[in-house]
Amino acid sequence: MQYSHEDENFPLTRFESMLKTNDILFFDSSEFENIIHHYLENGKIALSKRAIKLGLEQHPTSINLRLFQVEILVIENKFAEADDLLDQLHNLEPTNEEIFIQKANVLSKQDEHQKAIDTLLIAIDMSSTPEDDADLYALVGMEYLFLDQFEKAIIYFKKCLESDTNDYSALHNIIYCYDFLNLNEEAIEYLNKFLDTNPYCEVAWHQLGRQYFAIKEYAKASAAFDFAIISDDTFVGAYLEKGKVLEKLKNHEEAIENYKITLALDDPTSFALLRIGQCYSKLGQDDLAIQFFKKTIDEDALLDKGWLAITKFYMKRLDYQNALDYIKKAVAIDGDNVLYWKLFATINKRLNFLEEAEQGYKRAIELGNYELDTWLNRTDILVELGEYQAAIFNLLQTIEFYPENAEVEYRLAGLYFMVHQTEEGRFHLKNATHLNIDYSFIISELFPQLTDRPVIKAIISEAKKASN
């Protein structure tokens, strides 16, 4: 319940006035309940506790005020005290379903989800108004979600919708469960049945469109989003999803129109701006594409897809200097983004800025990017820089992730020969030729000065004969 501080007739205003003046005013128990509920809704725990204390002084036998006391104890993680108080209340009112609901809440907070379910089912059995039990069914459904028992969760969320067809949270949870179980067809069947009796439910049409999109039935998805828009022509999500479908259908002009509608309906979103930029890029309208990519990063500087899009836009057009300028800005904003560092390395490599490229690959590895190409690219740059020992150390780390890899072994062989560790070189070269003789060109490509070494020629030649 919401209160206005300007109206002196509301209990909340009187209560707060009482706190300031230390006067003692009388409130009936339902007024205290509304005041406490208001404070809890707004996260004002201290005021909630004050209202509960004063409420119990005036209404010491109120079960509902005691139940608010239980809520506070749960918030403060005082589960044993909450449990004791609930036992006392149960002795006083053994048929009060709210006591069982709070008991289930205490159990859930302690990860006793099956016990919480059992307790909620007792509350449902005790209910005198089964047609109004949507909230209880939702609680049971959430407990099953905690247990990853999605099939059972679906049953109870469906019961919510049977009690209240406007419970869109339950509808979302049903589809979430179907998605988790990869049951798109079942979700589609359920949504179509739901829409038979609720044909103007924009949320259901939107969800149906998403399911068709997931199974790549784009024409049906587009139709579903159209019905969502007919049901509510201000439904931003439907326009966004329709835009995505139109992109899949290569209808970029109409996709742009749908994305632009969302900009008119609500504050611009970085997602819509980015998609408009991508559409213009695919249409070859570069000036408009770059305009919207810039708007994307202006709208949300933390959206990595925006920075990646504008960087790759310039890379595709071989404009590496502009690409480098933008990826530097991205790195300055988020220095822990692996994708930024890989692009930073790639661009610097294309510009022949080898030290910077090596730094980029090294940082990507430090951040957990252990893809083979990252290790190999860093190695090849270190070789070009003449940093042979660093390259060897890099490859020895690579072996931990990619043992028995020919590309790694050929590089190690060449490097060991370069630093005059002949035995190690022979060992790794033999390993390499045994794994894959076709990669022997790596030696001549990375280490041309080694090509005429008799020992290397002999090992490779012998391996080629053996493979034939």
User: What does pTM read for this prediction?
Assistant: 0.77
Q: Which of 75, 78, 73, 123 is nearest to 98 (CA)?
A: 123
**How far, in Å, CA of 88 to CA of 94, rounded?**
10
> In this structure, what CATH number is given to the domain that contains residue 463?
1.25.40.10
pLDDT of residue 6: 43
Mean pLDDT of 383-393: 96
pLDDT of residue 176: 96
150-179 tens-digit pLDDT? 999 999 999 999 888 889 999 999 999 999
The more confident residue out of 108 and 96 is: 108
* Mean pLDDT along residues 304-308: 95
| Total number of domains in the chain | 1
Tens-place pLDDT, residues 259-279: 999 999 999 999 999 999 999
- CA dist., res. 54 & res. 9, Å (int): 19
Q: Look at residue 275 and tell me if it is in a domain.
A: no
Residue 158 near residue 175 (C-beta atoms within 8 A) = no
Q: How much is the pLDDT for 243? A: 97
Q: Answer yes or no: is pLDDT of 10 > 70.
A: no
User: Within 13 Å of residue 35, how many CA atoms lie on the same side as its CB?
Assistant: 27
Greatest Cα pair distance, the chain, in angstroms, is 103
pLDDT band at 2 (very low <50, low <70, confident <90, very high): very low
Q: Which of 124 and 225 is assigned the larger pLDDT?
A: 225
Give phi and psi for 78, each to the nearest 5. Answer: -95, 70
* Residue 167 placed within a domain: no
Domain presence at residue 395: yes
Q: Which domain holds residue 411?
A: 370-467
Alpha carbons 16 and 7: distance in angstroms, whole number: 12
Q: Is pLDDT of 7 > 50?
A: no
> Do the domain assignments include residue 54?
no
Mean pLDDT, all residues of the chain = 90
CB atoms within 10 A of CB 18: 15
pLDDT grade for 1, boundaries at 50, 70 and 90: very low
pLDDT band at 78 (very low <50, low <70, confident <90, very high): confident
Q: What is the CA radius of gyration of the chain?
A: 33
Is 374 inside any structural domain?
Answer: yes
Question: Over 50: is that where the pLDDT of 3 sits?
Answer: no
Reported as a pLDDT band with limits 50, 70 and 90, residue 380 is very high
Domain membership flag for residue 385: yes
Q: Is residue 276 part of a domain?
A: no
Higher per-residue pLDDT: 43 or 423: 423
82 is a domain residue: no
| Higher-pLDDT residue of 3, 428 | 428
Q: Measured at the alpha carbon of residue 74, what is the angle toward residues 157 and 26, in degrees to the nearest 5?
A: 105
Instruction: Give the pLDDT band (50/70/90) at residue 130.
Output: low
pLDDT level of residue 191 (50, 70, 90 thresholds) = very high
